[in-house]
């Protein structure tokens, strides 16, 4: 299966060299009146949420207590909130956003120029004590412990953020990780390493890192992580037009196609998966045929 510009494909379709499966535009293309859109092909399982388009949506975080989703536009930096009715901006941030966690009554927003503590009404204050280095991933564990991955020569250092901005190293990994989440049931971290396509398990107290699964090259780059109630790991595939679920035994047991090429992250909310997506760096010809790129999507799971 390949993705190709619809107008460029017409001569190959007429020659019988290509068979169109679906078009990525919002409406059917008059050149292919009998070919469904991806949205028609997917059915009601996937739906975009109305709201401003994000340059690069990221870090969706579901709050069960509030029944609302917090997420960000990382490049046009802003913290957003979706309450099931309205998707709105909560706070504009001064530089590109690198992380978001819900922690007690606050949200912790990391960006290239610093760190903010944000109240649920949008009021914020800077965090002055924070570990030095490039933040690759951030997750909240039990008892509000903050787990961070910091860039280190050719790989990353994984540990906890302590009071006073100290960093307590637990593991050194030979490749960067892009996302992490805490598995409270198993008291362990899950991490995504896009370079190798690996999902990793890091158990506090264990020196080694275990590989849960590796997705084949060419399927897209791992982006974001979330756990469902059954212990399955969901991740988005950048440039892969899909999200996938890996079971606790490491088997790939579900793939859901999306009407966008560049999903960036996922969050589980009961039987619903929220998916953030991006418009940048999608090529303009593909973007024209994937108009909901940059929207927040919901997937029935």
* Average of per-residue pLDDT across 198-211: 94
Q: Is 189 exposed, middle or buried (0-12, 13-18, 19+ CB in 10 A)?
A: buried
How many whole angstroms separate alpha carbon 166 and alpha carbon 233? 30
Read off the pLDDT of each residue in 109-114 and give the average, rounded to a whole number.
97
What pLDDT is recorded for position 50?
87
User: In order of start, what are the domains of the chain with their CATH numbers?
Assistant: 1-36 (no CATH), 37-300 (2.120.10.30)
Q: Which of 180, 183, 186, 159 is nearest to 171 (CA)?
A: 159
Q: Taking the alpha carbons of 31, 32, 34, 36 in that order, is the dihedral positive or negative? A: negative
The answer to whether 110 and 133 are in contact (CB under 8 A) is: no
Average confidence (pLDDT) over 185-195:
94
Kindly indicate the confidence band of residue 32, based on its pLDDT and cuts at 50, 70 and 90. confident
Q: pLDDT (tens digit, 9 = 90+) per residue, 255-293?
A: 888 999 999 999 999 999 999 999 999 999 899 889 999
List C-alpha distances in Å: 258 to 11, 141, 148, 167. Answer: 26, 30, 30, 38
Q: Check residue 39 and give its pLDDT.
A: 59
Average pLDDT on 4-21 reads 72
The model's pTM = 0.85
Contact 292, 37 (CB under 8 A): no
| Residue 40: pLDDT over 60 | yes
What's the pLDDT score for residue 36?
A: 74
pLDDT of amino acid 34: 79
Answer yes or no: is pLDDT of 54 > 90. Answer: yes
Average pLDDT over the chain, rounded to whole? Answer: 90
* 273 exposure class (CB count in 10 Å sphere: 0-12, 13-18, 19+): buried
3 state SS of 144? helix
pLDDT for res 13: 76
Decide which of 38 and 272 is more confident.
272
Q: What integer pLDDT is reported at residue 1 of this predicted model?
A: 43
pLDDT score, position 24: 58
Return the pLDDT at 42.
57
What integer pLDDT is reported at residue 146 of this predicted model? 96
Q: Which residues pair with 103 in a beta bridge?
A: 106
> Beta strands of 66-130 (E only): which ranges?
68-73, 78-82, 87-92, 97-103, 106-111, 114-119, 124-126
For 119-143, the pLDDT digits (tens) are 999 999 999 999 999 999 999 999 9
Which range has the worst mean pLDDT, 61-70, 200-209, 210-219? 210-219
Least confidently predicted of 55-59, 101-105, 224-228 = 101-105
Dihedral, CA of residue 42, residue 47, residue 52 and residue 56, to nearest 10: -60
Which has more pLDDT, 11 or 85? 85
- Per residue in 94-105, pLDDT tens? 999 999 999 988
Q: What's the confidence (pLDDT) of residue 6?
A: 62
27 against 133, higher pLDDT: 133
Residue 26, pLDDT score:
56
pLDDT at 4 over 60: no
Neighbours of 200 (CB within 10 A): 22
When comparing pLDDT for 297 and 18, which is higher?
297
Nearest to 20 by CA among 43, 241, 293, 12: 12
Is there a contact between 171 and 137 (Cβ–Cβ < 8 Å)?
no
């Amino acid at each position: 299966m390949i993705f190709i510009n619809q107008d460029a494909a017409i001569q190959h379709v007429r020659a019988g060299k290509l068979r169109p499966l679906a078009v990525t535009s919002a409406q059917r293309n008059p050149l292919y009146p009998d070919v469904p859109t991806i949205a028609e092909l997917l059915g009601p399982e996937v739906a975009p949420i109305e709201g401003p388009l994000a340059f690069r949506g990221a870090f969706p975080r579901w709050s069960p207590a509030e029944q609302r989703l917090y997420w960000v536009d990382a490049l046009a930096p802003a913290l957003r909130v979706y309450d099931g009715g309205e998707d709105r901006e909560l706070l504009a941030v001064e530089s590109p956003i690198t992380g978001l966690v819900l922690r007690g009554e606050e949200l912790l927003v990391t960006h290239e120029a610093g760190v903010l503590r944000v109240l649920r009404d949008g009021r914020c204050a800077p965090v002055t004590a924070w570990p030095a280095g490039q933040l690759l991933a951030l997750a909240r564990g039990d008892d509000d412990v903050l787990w961070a991955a910091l860039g280190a020569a050719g790989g990353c250092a994984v540990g906890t953020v302590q009071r006073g901005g100290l960093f307590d190293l637990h593991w050194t990994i030979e490749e960067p990780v892009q996302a992490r989440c805490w598995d409270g049931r198993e008291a362990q971290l899950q991490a995504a390493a896009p370079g190798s396509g690996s999902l990793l398990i890091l158990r506090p107290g264990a020196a080694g890192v275990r590989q849960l699964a590796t997705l084949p090259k060419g399927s897209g780059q791992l982006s974001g992580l979330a756990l469902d109630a059954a212990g399955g790991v969901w991740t988005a595939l950048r440039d892969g037009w899909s999200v996938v679920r890996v079971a606790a035994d490491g088997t790939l047991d579900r793939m859901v196609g999306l009407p966008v090429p560049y999903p960036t992250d996922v969050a589980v909310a009961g039987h619903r998966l929220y998916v953030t997506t991006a418009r940048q760096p999608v090529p303009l010809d593909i973007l024209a045929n994937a108009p909901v790129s940059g929207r927040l999507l919901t997937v029935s799971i």
